[in-house]
Amino acid sequence: MEKNIALLRGDGIGPEIVDSAVKVLEVIAEKFGHKFNFTPYLIGGAAIDATGNPLPQETVDGCLAADSVLLGAVGGPKWDTLPANLRPEKGLLGIRSAMGLYTNLRPAKLYPALKEECPLRADIVAQGFDLMMVRELTGGIYFGERGRREGKYGPEAWDTEAYSVMEVERIARAAFEAARKRRKNVISIDKANVLETSRLWRETVHRIAEEYPDVSCADMLVDNAAMQLVRRPSQFDVVVTSNMFGDILSDEASQITGSIGMLPSASLGATTRGLYEPIHGSAPDIAGQDKANPIATVLSAAMMLRYAFDMMDEADCIEKAVDKVLEDGIRTADIVGSSGIEAIGCKQMTEEIIKRL
């Protein structure tokens, strides 16, 4: 099978970690008889430096023509003083919009080899957890009407959250489809006791659930969900929620794994193309020093194989190689913790993963 993959290396450690993922994918292609064609495009600060635009039209066209997109990271202090419409992050938001990506899949898994780095109690850690956060990405309060006005107590600001039935339907279906590839359980997070948007959300999710009789579905209020994530995360399989709730809860979930440098993500739309990226930032303080952890990007590549190309065995191969690296006590600086293990660099970690494919 031949696939065309657009590479958005971006800024900071982005080029290093994307190159690591490419090396892993090249070995996978050889091992399983595929051909992956990689084409780089500019985004973020690198694009600003070269073209004055955080998202050149060439990048948009290239991503739309590709079978899938792999992204490193964007941003850094070099561009912090630019106007909002020229910031590197505008490139990321722009490519998500151009590709019509409304679903964000963000897994959070506790690796047994890293359990000592988990901040939770030992009895909770012993249960383990492996959950998938499904966040609506293009609606809700982040995209609603907003402004400032003179209010009852003087100047005030306001933001509006709105969700249509269609927006909830499509994110709910994405969650149920993801659950079918996992443990067949969905928990929908809302604030239906207070918010009208959440009541619509709950009604719609329940209706879509009827299309998936093989998947169980339950509701949970967002404040309770925030507590349950640190009280008993093992109860969660697939979690589906709105843009703002998902933003907050997925960051909470990332922290209980012990390292944000381990977590991949996928942003999907109506097609299988998708945008795959680690959830961490560009880490400009260690850029170019061979200190970055490539695992989150490598696992993002595995998600790409699984969700964009339906290459399940290939994705499993990468994930098992990462598991084995950790079991063998191999660590980059961000996951050394209190183990006393000597840290290795980005390039060597990549080679260690490749050895175990």
Please name the amino acid found at residue 192: A
301 is written with which tokens?
Answer: 């590549």
Please name the amino acid found at residue 21: A
Q: What is the Cα–Cα distance from 222 to 220, expressed in whole angstroms? A: 6
The sign one gets for the Cα dihedral 297, 301, 307, 311 is: negative
DSSP, res 170: H
Q: What is the Cα–Cα distance from 70 to 44, expressed in whole angstroms? A: 14
**Catalytic position from the list 78, 115, 130, 142:** 142
**Catalytic position from the list 247, 290, 323, 347:** 247
Please name the amino acid found at residue 170: R
315 is written with which tokens?
Answer: 């994705």
**Catalytic position from the list 223, 285, 310, 328:** 223
Based on the residue annotation, tell me whether 247 is a catalytic residue of this protein: yes
* Cα 170 → chain centroid: 18
**Catalytic position from the list 78, 115, 130, 251:** 251
147 is written with which tokens?
Answer: 């402004």
**Helix ranges (DSSP H) in 13-52:** 14-32, 44-51
SS3 338: coil
Based on the residue annotation, tell me whether 142 is a catalytic residue of this protein: yes
Question: Using CA atoms in the order 25, 29, 34, 35, what is the torsion angle rounded to 10 degrees?
Answer: 60
**Catalytic position from the list 3, 90, 109, 191:** 191
Catalytic residues, by residue number, are 142, 191, 223, 247, 251
